[in-house]
Structure 1
């Protein structure tokens, strides 16, 4: 059995260890979620700028194409320069459409970021769940050796849960499912 003088000190140490572990784990997950949200905001802003520029370029190229077609129709027969101009405009429009599709890749990357944030939040839920698995009806007498053992066991489970999640959650966000090349953000 523990002496009466050392039990409160050990109890305080165990409670502080447990709370410190929960706090550290929670802070780590929330910091990751915050970083992912900031990165998602950057991705969305860049994607919207790219999409706007691409659609404006498509609009401009189509206007030029329409002018060339009107010119061809007004003369009655196609001139080789006009046919070449139409082909050039067709290729230009294709490039702009490709740029717009590339701009849509933000959906894949933001989906990955959202998945990581969900994992972080699930990790927090699991840690808090570990705290709740010891029903209050089963609490041993304050200052007893059983209380210290229970707190130590909870701290160990929280620590183990933190270790399990540490390597599994932090990873890079990669561009996938697009033909324009790979992008690694982190």
Structure 2
């Protein structure tokens, strides 16, 4: 009975991790789209002005650079999502091993069954969305 409760806890944690990952992916996809299209529009506007012979000041590149910075921040979700996927996979493997041990026993002709333990940390990523300055890389 205790093993079933522990497995249920791990599976609920995995579900929460996957929901967090979905939010990260949704937020990052939106941010990438907004920032790439924004940067593209700004650069096209600046290029058109240059082609018309209009001088540009260094400050006029600020908005395009801000969009590029936003896109880079959105790309950092890859690190967080990779960590979350690895962590979730480890939890699932631990649950599968526990189920196998409970169902089939711990020993067979090859020796004692190897059981991967679930991670001690509840989750490797604390962010639910990607905002400028909010990304912690490990």
For the aligned pair, the TM-score class normalised by the smaller chain equals 0.7 to 0.9
Ranges of 4+ aligned residues in structure 1 off by more than 6 Å: none
Aligned residue-pair number: 124
Q: Distance in 1 between matches of 2:76 and 2:56?
A: 34
Q: Distance in 2 between matches of 1:134 and 1:173?
A: 33
Q: Distance in 2 between matches of 1:31 and 1:174?
A: 17
Q: Distance in 2 between matches of 1:135 and 1:112?
A: 33
SS in 1 for 2:56: helix
Matched, 1:126 2:97: yes
- Structure 1 unpaired stretches of 5+: 1-19, 73-77, 137-160
Task: State the 1:22 CA deviation.
Answer: 2.8
- Cross-structure match for 1:108: 79
Matched ranges for 1:75-90 at <5 A? 82-84=55-57, 87-90=58-61
- Cross-structure match for 2:120: 168
Q: Indicate the structure (1 or 2) with the bigger Cα radius of gyration.
A: 1
Q: Distance in 1 between matches of 2:50 and 2:125?
A: 45
- Cross-structure match for 1:44: 25
Aligned-residue Cα RMSD (Å) equals: 2.6
TM-score by length of 1: 0.58
- Identify, as 1 or 2, the structure richer in helix: 1
- Structure 2 unpaired stretches of 5+: 109-114
